[in-house]
Chains A and B, each alone.
Chain A
Amino acid sequence: GAGVSQSPSNKVTEKGKDVELRCDPISGHTALYWYRQSLGQGLEFLIYFQGNSAPDKSGLPSDRFSAERTGGSVSTLTIQRTQQEDSAVYLCASSPDPGPYEKLFFGSGTQLSVL
């Protein structure tokens, strides 16, 4: 497709389980971002991948959160031992980098619910 694709669109899990969220960026976009949006809140930066550089992990809230980007394309965000406070919408975005913010596009997100 032409846009940023995220899967699954919804994920319900039990407290303590691990989850993996996937992001397929726009083809050719070298920069990829993960954000978290809690109910009624703005977006909170989690992690940023740029080409082959080491990712900026400064936004990850705890060591239960990790992400990887294979082959400079698809990215997976993993949350281990999920907690109820992890419930949120997880959004992925991609852009050419460097590039204007007019070229930054978001996916529709994964709604994560931890019971």
Chain B
Amino acid sequence: GQQLNQSPQSMFIQEGEDVSMNCTSSSIFNTWLWYKQDPGEGPVLLIALYKAGELTSNGRLTAQFGITRKDSFLNISASIPSDVGIYFCAGPPGSARQLTFGSGTQLTVLP
């Protein structure tokens, strides 16, 4: 089936630094989603992107839907300790409603 390649797998950054992670696919996605998962919890939606080229912000988070519809990236500016967690990209393949997820980026913020 379709796969989403997410990188990096893990990141260790200093508090206050900016972070960037990305996701690529071999096939077109018409929706890109970015989730955050805290330990022992389910993923929570951060940003949804529905249009190629779209750039959307949610506070310190900014995500872009790649113009080719085969990639997306998420930026976090001025990281803080509560940004720690696992970040996933996701999207529905074709006309399906269920989501395909990337393998996640584990973010650690050092004080």
Contact = CB atoms under 8 A, between A and B. Distances in A.
Contacts of A31: 97
Interface string A40-75: 111111001010000010010000000000000000
Contacts of A4: 42
Nearest to A45: B98
Interface residues of A, number: 26
Interface string B74-111: 00000000000000101000001111111110000000
A19 interface: no
Contact of A102 (B48, B88, B96, B101): B48
Contact of A59 (B43, B44, B98, B102): B98
Contacts of B43: 43, 91, 106
Interface string A83-95: 0000000010100
Contact of A43 (B40, B41, B99): B99
A107 B98 contact: no
A59 B104 CA distance: 20
Nearest to B40: A108
Contacts of B99: 43, 45
B31 interface: yes
B21 interface: no
B104 A42 contact: yes
A20 interface: no
B63 interface: no
A76 B102 CA distance: 26
23 contacts: A4-B42, A40-B103, A41-B104, A42-B4, A42-B88, A42-B90, A43-B90, A43-B99, A44-B101, A45-B100, A48-B98, A91-B43, A93-B42, A97-B97, A100-B48, A101-B31, A101-B45, A101-B48, A102-B48, A106-B42, A106-B43, A107-B42, A109-B40
Interface of B: 4, 6, 31, 33, 40-45, 48, 88, 90, 96-104
Given A33-B98, A42-B88, A43-B88, 19 more contacts: A31-B97, A40-B103, A41-B103, A41-B104, A42-B4, A42-B6, A42-B90, A42-B103, A43-B43, A48-B97, A56-B98, A91-B42, A100-B48, A101-B31, A101-B45, A102-B45, A105-B42, A106-B43, A109-B40
